[in-house]
Amino acid sequence: MANLVSIILQWPDLNIREIAENFSRLACNAHTICDSELIPLGTGLYPVISIINHSCYPNSVLVFEGRMATIRAIQQIPKGSEVLISYIETAGSTMTRQKALKEQYFFTCSCPRCIKLGQDDDIKESAVLEGYRCKNHTCDGFLLRDTEIKGFRCHQCGLVRGMEEILKIAGEEKDMSEKASVALSSGYNTEALDMYLKVEKLQMKLYHSSSIKLMRTRETLLRV
């Protein structure tokens, strides 16, 4: 990006390192401005709001009315405690959240949710949010990896789901999602709707009923 700016501006004494540093500051401190339906509209730098640190279990949220940014408490905040917002989507598993924070903000979160990484509750939460569903459609159990059988086992009914079958459906779902996304961005809404319905069907076969992927597909379906 810094090189691109330098090429476009063509100022003789332009310092590329300084531009790169400014881009880095922006990436760590800026916020995405969203509309009331949380559709991103752009990026804004709000010096006061940039002071606020992150938690995956925040006590406040950042909301926008047009360009005006407001911090709203979402729980009782005892006097003297730190106001915290989430920089990322809180619905992800601990691994997904930690990865996103490391990549964009360069820190390892140690909030009350993140310190549970690897504990039973955390494994269960991840398996529900991002894992696969039980093969028995009347069972709402989540699957856990079983290395001995090279597959997954339902924590509730014990039924095994093979890797091969999962990979086959996952492949179909990926292909269909890509096609649907292209159709939507090209303005072919009727075709996109049809494709997203197929994606939803495949995801219902593959993922747990509370999976984030499934929720996102349904959100897109509503929008389309």
Site residues, ligand SAM (CB under 6 A): 28-29, 50-51, 53-55, 105-107, 109
Of the candidates 170, 151, 87, 92, which has an alpha carbon nearest to the alpha carbon of residue 126?
92
Alpha-carbon distance of 26 to 102, in angstroms, equals 16
Amino acid 211 reads S
Contact (CB, 8 A) for 59 and 73: yes
Helix axes 212-223, 120-130, angle to 10 degrees: 30
Measured from the CB atom, the residue of 5 and 83 that comes closer to ligand SAM is 83
Instruction: Please state the closest distance from residue 26 (CB atom) to ligand SAM, in A.
Output: 11
Residues written for the chain: 224
Instruction: Please state the closest distance from residue 98 (CB atom) to ligand SAM, in A.
Output: 11
Measured from the CB atom, the residue of 63 and 157 that comes closer to ligand SAM is 63
Instruction: Please state the closest distance from residue 127 (CB atom) to ligand SAM, in A.
Output: 25
Instruction: Please state the closest distance from residue 34 (CB atom) to ligand SAM, in A.
Output: 17
Measured from the CB atom, the residue of 64 and 105 that comes closer to ligand SAM is 105
Alpha-carbon distance of 63 to 193, in angstroms, equals 30
Measured from the CB atom, the residue of 31 and 133 that comes closer to ligand SAM is 31
Helix (H) or strand (E) holding 220: helix 212-223
Instruction: Please state the closest distance from residue 30 (CB atom) to ligand SAM, in A.
Output: 8
Tokens of 121: 């509750």
Tokens of 128: 């529900």
Measured from the CB atom, the residue of 32 and 209 that comes closer to ligand SAM is 32
